[in-house]
Structure 1
Amino acid sequence: IVVKKTFQQTMSKLEFYFIPVLNPDGYVYTWNTDRLWRKTRSGPTGNFQCFGTDANRNFGFKWQGPFSSSNPCAEDFRGIAPFSEIEIRSLAKFLHSISSSLRGYFDLHAYGKHFVYPFAYTRLVEAPEAEKMSKLARLAVSRINNLPSGQSAPFSVGSVARSIYNANGATIDYVKAVLNVTYTYALELGPSQHAGVNGFLLPQSRISEALLESSTGLFTVFEAIARGE
């Protein structure tokens, strides 16, 4: 009851915007044709007439670089130009429309159990307010890692580039650098990074665990924003 009351009090102080699926055409394609399809369904592009762009390499901050591909057939194809994808243009337009009140931004991914923040494009430059983001992420992860779950590996904390890999044109880099949103994170859901391709195919039996872990981490950030931190 205490937890529920605290949750309600925190949520009542904030306004939320949810985008359950940013890439609907790609999502449908995963069910109809290729379960592990990653990209949008734009195109075809290039000599081999390949379809799709990696939506998380298409944002207009540090878009063209060594950590995305110019090959239309590659999994991490950046697109023919920044914001070439209608999904990314639409998201950017919406975020700009609410940017004056935007205090937190979360990009949920599968998989690997990482609670990460900008920058993705480089390990050499600290993002603005990196220490603030790191401190809150460490608190969130400590709560997640203390959850009673027999098969959970711990979450890690750090910048995307230092914790996972480098990436150009990433959504959280754009939101942090261009929109200056204080708490900007990507949450890589479970299972752990050693699950191989099966990590993208989470069994139904693990959904409640993933929900508990992610909601615990997200709520930690919600609390900080509600307190005006």
Structure 2
Amino acid sequence: LCSVFITNLQKEIEKQTGYRSSRRRRSASQYDYEVYHSLEEVQYHSVFWLSMNRTNPDLVDMFSVGKSYEGRPLYVLQVVMTRKRSRPQKKAVWIDCGVHAREWIGPAFCQWFVKEVCTFQVTLLDTFFKLLRSLQSDRFWRKTRSKNRKFHCRGVDANRNWKVKWCEEGASSHPCDDTYCGPYPESEPEVKAVAKFLRKHKKRVKAYISIHAYAQMLLYPYSYKYATIPNFNCVVRSEAHLYMTSINLYFNNSNGVVYVTSGSSIDWAYRNGIPYTFAFELRDTGYFGFLLPESLISPTCTETMRAVKTIATGLLKKCETDSNTFPYI
């Protein structure tokens, strides 16, 4: 049986996009973290983080690791939760949001996260994030914006473009499909830039977290096959598992709950020596889907913040890592 959740989808889209052009720019102190912002608004607010970098260089560092297909800088914001640089190899956690453009709650969480960490000094490890935004012309756009010479269809699924079981089950080789894997692994400058950065810092990065929507799940490898990861016991027994269970969210390997995918970022990170990799699928479970109302930004970000904190402060301290115990394939 089928049910209709939203009788007028266009009306719901207009609620989130119709008034964007009329919103005035506000100072950093007045920035509203409980609404969805355009790319221009996010970039304008980044001036605040650049200013903080100048006044607190030991706390915040903002730099570009490359450019997108359309030439926009791909910024990484590093938040160091200590003012002493005596431990240059301190453990780090990478967080990315907005890999799929239509998942607006992802970038909203990344901004929320940085605000919480910098304002209230939450005890976390070094944290990184990158931010991509959706287009104004297509609320449900998913892919990147690269062009294809043979087809008029644009873009590649940035979560099928990683060099791990690339373009196998769960990915499409047709440029017009939403799950198009691209002409070759790391063909997208956005993916290539992040992969290059993580390879360079993989000795420090102990956890990789990718924020997505929707389904209310916390997923871990493998995505491309039905198998148990070598450090399964540590991951499942972690406080992260207990926390996600307490708020009634699924906690399972990607293919066991959703579907088999190949070329995913969490599989790539795990294969490249990052022992704890997760993909958050934030609210909701399907009623609003990608059109999650702004009224749910705060509760979504609050619960996700707790889960990320649990992973960073609990999992990494309790589970000893040894790269020799992680035979990936």
What range is the shorter-chain TM-score in? 0.7 to 0.9
Query: Aligned partners of 2:181, 2:204: CA distance in 1, in Å?
Result: 29
Query: Aligned partners of 1:184, 1:109: CA distance in 2, in Å?
Result: 13
Q: 1:208-228 CA deviation, whole Å, 9 max, x = no partner?
A: 111112111111111125635
Partner of 1:188: 281
Choose from 285, 290, 298 the match for 1:208: 298
Gap regions ≥5 residues in structure 1? 22-26, 146-153
Identity among equivalent positions (%) equals 32
Choose from 69, 85, 104 the match for 2:207: 104
Partner of 2:173: 70
Partner of 2:28: none
Partner of 1:131: 233
Deviation (angstroms), 1:69: 0.2
Partner of 2:253: 159
State the SS of the aligned residue for 2:211.
Answer: strand
Partner of 2:141: 37
Q: How many equivalent pairs are there?
A: 200
Assess, with a 3 A threshold, how the Cα gap between structure 1 residues 80 and 210 changes in structure 2: closer, same or farther: same
Query: Aligned partners of 1:167, 1:190: CA distance in 2, in Å?
Result: 21
Q: Is the 8 A contact 1:115 1:141 kept in 2?
A: yes
Q: Which amino acid aligns with 2:184?
A: A
Gap regions ≥5 residues in structure 2? 1-116, 320-329
Q: Which amino acid aligns with 1:18?
A: F
Which one scores higher on RCO, CA 8 angstroms, separation ≥ 6? 1
Q: Is the 8 A contact 1:133 1:184 kept in 2?
A: no
Assess, with a 3 A threshold, how the Cα gap between structure 1 residues 28 and 113 changes in structure 2: closer, same or farther: closer
Let me know the Cα RMSD of the aligned residues.
Answer: 1.9
Normalising by the residue count of structure 2, what TM-score does the alignment of the two structures yield?
Answer: 0.58
Q: Which amino acid aligns with 2:146?
A: S
Q: Which amino acid aligns with 1:173?
A: D
State the SS of the aligned residue for 1:44.
Answer: coil
Assess, with a 3 A threshold, how the Cα gap between structure 1 residues 171 and 203 changes in structure 2: closer, same or farther: same
Query: Aligned partners of 1:166, 1:226: CA distance in 2, in Å?
Result: 27
Normalising by the residue count of structure 1, what TM-score does the alignment of the two structures yield?
Answer: 0.82
2:198 corresponds to 1:95: yes
Name which one, 1 or 2, has greater alpha-carbon Rg.
Answer: 2
State the SS of the aligned residue for 1:108.
Answer: strand
Query: Aligned partners of 1:212, 1:60: CA distance in 2, in Å?
Result: 33
State the SS of the aligned residue for 1:99.
Answer: coil
Q: Is the 8 A contact 2:244 2:250 kept in 1?
A: yes
Partner of 2:131: 20
Q: Which amino acid aligns with 2:273?
A: N
Q: Which amino acid aligns with 1:172?
A: I
